[in-house]
Amino acid sequence: MHTQSSNNTQEITLVLGGTGKTGSRVAQRLQARGVSTRIGSRSATPAFDWGLPDTWEAALENVSAVYISYAPDLAIPGVTDTIRRFVDRAVARGVKRLVLLSGRGEQEAQACEQIVQSSDLEWTIVRASWFMQNFSEGEFQGMIQAGVITLPAADIPEPFIDVDDIADVAVAALTEAGHTHEVYEVTGPRLLTFTEAAREISAAAGREVRFMQIPKQDFNQAIADSGAPDDLIWLMNYLFETVLDGRNAHLADGVQRALGREPRDFTLFAQQIASEGRWTAADENVA
Ligand SMILES: NC(=O)c1ccc[n+]([C@@H]2O[C@H](COP(=O)([O-])OP(=O)(O)OC[C@H]3O[C@@H](n4cnc5c(N)ncnc54)[C@H](OP(=O)(O)O)[C@@H]3O)[C@@H](O)[C@H]2O)c1
């Protein structure tokens, strides 16, 4: 993505994870508003890598605000050390405002929130439920194309959120007054189990997509066979076993509080994705 000139004044907004599901949308919205924007990711120029703190300095040059979408996930043990170190560097480099994307019900993510909250910066936390786009841009898309969402998850209700809503909240917090020191817990407008989400996807795509709970060992074997590293396997198990246990099976009003409107419903999301042809059956793609 294009990096705009800063005229050497400290006015750039750094979007970490800026090529990902939320970050790309945040960056697009900022640029549409005429905000000087810099993408922070390993493929950006200058490159930013969470694992290589030396790369942080160039990315923080002339930056006044940062959107933090940590990869792969704030839930991973030990991430707090990285976030603490990054916040310290941001403060030292003159950053004024931080917006942190966090996850609901995750102990390590909440510890990261506290690090941001104890800084002297203008901070906003966007604590999100599971993304609807996990079904269209993330890990589950291939399963939907194959017709079965196979996960080691109980059929617990989750208020999936549209990442476009997350981006709208983040951009408001990055660019407007009135969002400082707010924790916006953002969810979609409705609880859906995986079975119900699969039904919505089936209706929109015009073909059957099922949810099937599979044993943890089978799931782990499948993701190991796909070449996933051990920490990703740990993360998936943590998310499905620990976080998706019903603790987040309730709605929150962060979108309404931040934006004064309702979040987008899963039905509209599903209709849009299906109309773009992104859920066609795997064998239809081979033609
Ligand atoms: N998925 C969910 O349902 C959900 C729910 C709540 C919260 N979250 C949070 O969302 C965050 C992930 O956001 P997302 O889904 O928008 O991202 P994403 O789509 O997974 O994309 C990851 C982004 O991070 C960059 N990246 C990957 N590894 C990196 C590294 N080592 N150093 C620097 N950048 C790196 C990637 O670009 P490059 O490849 O170019 O580096 C890309 O821009 C996580 O912190 C997670 O806790 C997710």
Ligand 1 centre from 37 Cα, in Å?
A: 18
Structure tokens at 70: 């940590």
Nearest atom within ligand 1 for CA of residue 160: 3
**Helix (H) or strand (E) run with residue 149 in it:** strand 148-151
- Closest protein CA for atom 29 of ligand 1: 71
Decide if 212 is inside a domain: no
What is the rounded distance in angstroms from the CA atom of residue 139 to the CA atom of residue 152?
14
Kindly state if the Cβ of 17 falls inside 6 Å of ligand 1: yes
The CA distances from residue 79 to 2, 73, 74, 152, 204, in Å, are 29, 8, 6, 25, 38
Decide if 56 is inside a domain: yes
Structure tokens at 282: 């795997």
What is the rounded distance in angstroms from the CA atom of residue 30 to the CA atom of residue 19?
14
Kindly state if the Cβ of 56 falls inside 6 Å of ligand 1: no
Q: What is the pLDDT of residue 148?
A: 96
What is the rounded distance in angstroms from the CA atom of residue 175 to the CA atom of residue 173?
6
In the 3-class helix/strand/coil scheme, how is 48-92 assigned residue by residue? CCCCCHHHHHHHCCCEEEEEECCCCCCCCCCHHHHHHHHHHHHHH
What is the rounded distance in angstroms from the CA atom of residue 14 to the CA atom of residue 142?
31
Q: Number of structural domains, the chain?
A: 1
pTM: predicted TM-score of the whole model, two decimal places: 0.95
Q: What is the pLDDT of residue 8?
A: 53
Task: Give yes or no for residue 272 having a pLDDT over 50.
Answer: yes
Please state the rounded mean pLDDT for residues 191-196.
96
Decide if 221 is inside a domain: no
What is the rounded distance in angstroms from the CA atom of residue 141 to the CA atom of residue 282?
10
Kindly state if the Cβ of 73 falls inside 6 Å of ligand 1: yes
Kindly state if the Cβ of 195 falls inside 6 Å of ligand 1: no
Task: Give yes or no for residue 29 having a pLDDT over 60.
Answer: yes
Among 24, 29, 41, 80, say which to mutate for ligand 1: greatest number of ligand atoms within 8 Å of CB: 41
Decide if 75 is inside a domain: yes
Nearest atom within ligand 1 for CA of residue 23: 16
Kindly state if the Cβ of 189 falls inside 6 Å of ligand 1: no
What is the rounded distance in angstroms from the CA atom of residue 113 to the CA atom of residue 181?
11
Structure tokens at 51: 């694992």
Closest CA to 170 of 33, 44, 50: 33
Decide if 147 is inside a domain: no
Residue pLDDT, tens place only, 106-135: 999 999 999 999 999 999 999 999 999 999
Q: Give the DSSP per-residue string, 120-135.
A: SSEEEEEEE--BGGGG
Please state the rounded mean pLDDT for residues 70-85.
95
Please state the rounded mean pLDDT for residues 64-71.
98
Task: Give yes or no for residue 6 having a pLDDT over 70.
Answer: no
Decide if 225 is inside a domain: no
Task: Give yes or no for residue 285 having a pLDDT over 60.
Answer: no
Task: Give yes or no for residue 286 having a pLDDT over 60.
Answer: no
| Range(s) of the domain holding residue 81 | 12-130+161-187+250-264
Decide if 277 is inside a domain: no
244 pLDDT band, cuts 50/70/90, is confident
Percentage above 90 pLDDT, the chain: 79
CATH classification of the domain holding 25: 3.40.50.720
Q: Which residue has the higher pLDDT, 274 or 283?
A: 274
Decide if 152 is inside a domain: no
Ligand 1 centre from 23 Cα, in Å?
A: 8
Q: What is the pLDDT of residue 138?
A: 82
Residue pLDDT, tens place only, 251-270: 999 999 999 999 999 999 99
Kindly state if the Cβ of 152 falls inside 6 Å of ligand 1: no
